[in-house]
Amino acid sequence: QVQLVESGGGVVQAGGSLRLSCTASDLTFDDYAMAWFRQAPGKGREGISCISWSGGYTFYADSVKGRFTISRDNARNTLYLQMGSLKPDDTAMYYCAADPRYSDSWCRPSADFGYWGQGTQVTVSS
Q: Using one digit for the tens of pLDDT, what is the confidence trace for 67-96?
A: 999 999 999 999 999 999 999 999 999 999
Which of 32, 40, 39, 41 is CA-nearest to residue 3?
Answer: 32
| Dihedral over Cα of 102, 103, 104, 105: its sign | negative
Q: How many CB atoms sit inside 10 A of residue 30's CB?
A: 15
pLDDT at residue 8, rounded to an integer: 98
Give me Rg for the CA atoms of the chain.
Answer: 13
Contact 46, 115 (CB under 8 A): no
pLDDT at residue 65, rounded to an integer: 98
> What integer is the mean pLDDT of 106-120?
95
pLDDT at residue 122, rounded to an integer: 98
Which tens digits make up the pLDDT trace of 10-64? Answer: 999 999 999 999 999 999 999 999 999 999 999 999 999 999 999 999 999 999 9
pLDDT at residue 103, rounded to an integer: 86
